[in-house]
Amino acid sequence: MKKIGVAILGLGVVGGGTYRILTEHREFYRKTQNVDIEVTSVLETSRSRAESLAVPPEKIAVNIAEVVCNPDVNIVVECIGGISAAKEYVLAALNAGKSVVTSNKELYAKFSHELERAAKRHNAGLFFEASCVGGVPIIRTLLDGLQGNKISSLMGIINGTTNYILTKMTNEGMSYEAALAEAKKLGYAEADPTSDVEGFDAAYKLSILASLAFHTKVPFTNVFREGITNLSKEDVEDGKQLGYTLKLLAIGKRTDAGIEVRVHPTFVRKDHPLASVADAFNAVFVEGDAVGEVMLYGRGAGSLPTGSAIVSDIIYAATHSDVKYSTFKNDAEAEKDVNFADDFMSAYYLRLSVSDESGVLAKIASVFGKNHISIVEMIQREKEGGKASIVLVTHETHELAIKNAVEKINSTEIATVESVLRVVS
Ligand code: HSE
């Protein structure tokens, strides 16, 4: 039987889950895959982490050189996170001809070109299923299952922390701050939650997924990004009244104007399948020309779900002798002839604070009219001090038209636009 040795770099949440799955399922993989996969080395500075997993002391390496020089290591699994050490270690492994499995979305989104170049040079495999949407096998689906399709769009909830926060704000009326505090208590949000709540995490993932879906490098810097930190309870409540649920969506589209990639809070109708994706769960819709719509749903984070994605990559690497790389020119930048849309179409939700007097509505309507923006529905609420709150939803229009209209309204004395949110119509 073929023997495969695995080294795990980092035994934190994800590395620890991977270690557990590999050791507990070793016999199962011998039977079902006809391959004996053994963890032959780990690189972990915390003795207590290694001890809690009962890693035999002789398997604990002291540095990366020891790992990559070990002839009993065929596959190196990177679960360190961040860039500097992770990049150095992954390159060292690839340069030594070891296949690499990584869960590191930031590393892959920013440096896939460098990693792939090293992998190709040494005929090593490079696998990254766990970098996007945790245990949900979206990458294998794009690389293999949907390869026969021209994909026109993908859309999804690909960050669990923000989905948990938005679920709490929607279902329990919590403020953003209270929901974030709860997400931290449960270990979803990190002490510094910036990467999740400002949409960086989702943007890294979207850059990877869109590159695979559209067969062209979609650099992270091309992803339009807006986080959830400025959302108010008022918007969540107003949206609910209009039949919408607020989600942080990642959207990638191939349009006539170019490739569109964006991450932002979005209202979806309550009966849309994404509206019921609650708590820390993730879901992704992909639309292919042959298959139509495909939706994947599951846990986008966590020790065993992310470990599941890593172990699937390990098994794939262990049982496939050929190595498959990107189907596009994997450079740092997008190819020169690829267009990225700088404007896009969406419906919009706007909340305005207005002076409650005659003629105000007509003036606002006139600004919308001049920008070819058509209103679908509107509600008005009395506020104190001669003010009123107007909430409206538009038909699909250009992002640039909304920006112009908002600027124009804010330059008047009669109204201030307090919120602008996109709506999936
Ligand atoms: N922090 C991510 C999330 C998980 O909340 O979805 C890892 O990508």
Residue-by-residue pLDDT tens, the chain, 425 positions: 999 999 999 999 999 999 999 999 999 999 999 999 999 999 999 999 999 999 999 999 999 999 999 999 999 999 999 999 999 999 999 999 999 999 999 999 999 999 999 999 999 999 999 999 999 999 999 999 999 999 999 999 999 999 999 999 999 999 999 999 999 999 999 999 999 999 999 999 999 999 999 999 999 999 999 999 999 999 999 999 999 999 999 999 999 999 999 999 999 999 999 999 999 999 999 999 999 999 999 999 999 999 999 999 999 999 999 989 999 999 999 999 999 998 999 999 999 999 988 999 999 999 999 999 999 999 998 888 889 999 999 999 999 999 999 999 999 988 999 999 999 97
Mutate to test the pocket of ligand 1, among 196, 205, 247 (most ligand atoms within 8 A of CB): 196
Query: How far, in Å, from the CA of 201 to the mean position of ligand 1?
Result: 7
Distance from the alpha carbon of residue 386 to the mean position of ligand 1, in angstroms: 44
Residue 125's closest CA among 369, 322, 268? 322
Closest to 393 measured CA to CA, from 372, 422, 362 = 422
Which atom of ligand 1 lies nearest, measured to the CA of 282? 6
Task: State which of 14, 161, 297 you would mutate to test the pocket of ligand 1, scoring each by most atoms of that ligand within 8 A of its C-beta.
Answer: 161
Residue 382: predicted pLDDT = 84
Q: How far is the CA of 276 from the centre of ligand 1 (A)?
A: 19
pLDDT value of position 233: 93
CA of 279 to the centre of ligand 1 (A): 12
86: which 2 tokens? Answer: 């992770």
How far does the centroid of ligand 1 lie from the alpha carbon of residue 6, in Å? 25
Ligand 1, atom nearest to 306 Cα: 7
Side chain identity, residue 91 = L
Report CA(158)–ligand 1 centroid distance (Å): 8
Q: What residues contact 106, with CB distance under 8 A and at least 6 apart?
A: 81, 82, 83, 195, 200, 204
> Rounded to whole angstroms, how far apart are CA atoms 408 and 402?
10
Predicted TM-score of the model (pTM): 0.96
| Ligand 1 nearest atom to the CA of residue 190, by list position | 1
Residues involved in catalysis: 205
DSSP 158-199: --HHHHHHHHHHHHH---HHHHHHHHHHTTSS-SS-HHHHTT
404 by Cβ neighbours in 10 Å (0-12 / 13-18 / 19+) ranks as middle
Nearest CA to ligand 1 atom 2: 159
Nearest to 266 by CA among 105, 362, 393, 361: 393
Amino acid of residue 145: G
For a substitution probing ligand 1, which of 105, 188, 248, 299 has the most ligand atoms within 8 Å of its CB? Answer: 188
Supply the residue whose CA is at minimum distance from atom 4 of ligand 1.
301
Residues 6+ away with beta carbon under 8 Å from 71: none
- The ligand 1 atom at the shortest distance from the C-alpha of residue 133 is 8
How is the beta sheet containing 99-102 ordered, strand by strand? 60-61, 35-43, 2-9, 75-78, 99-102, 126-127
Which residues approach ligand 1 with their CB closer than 6 A? 159-161, 196, 201, 300-301
Which residue is closest in CA terms to ligand 1's atom 7?
A: 301
Residues 122 and 139: their CA atoms lie apart, in Å, by 23
Residue of 246, 421, 263 whose CA lies nearest to 350: 421
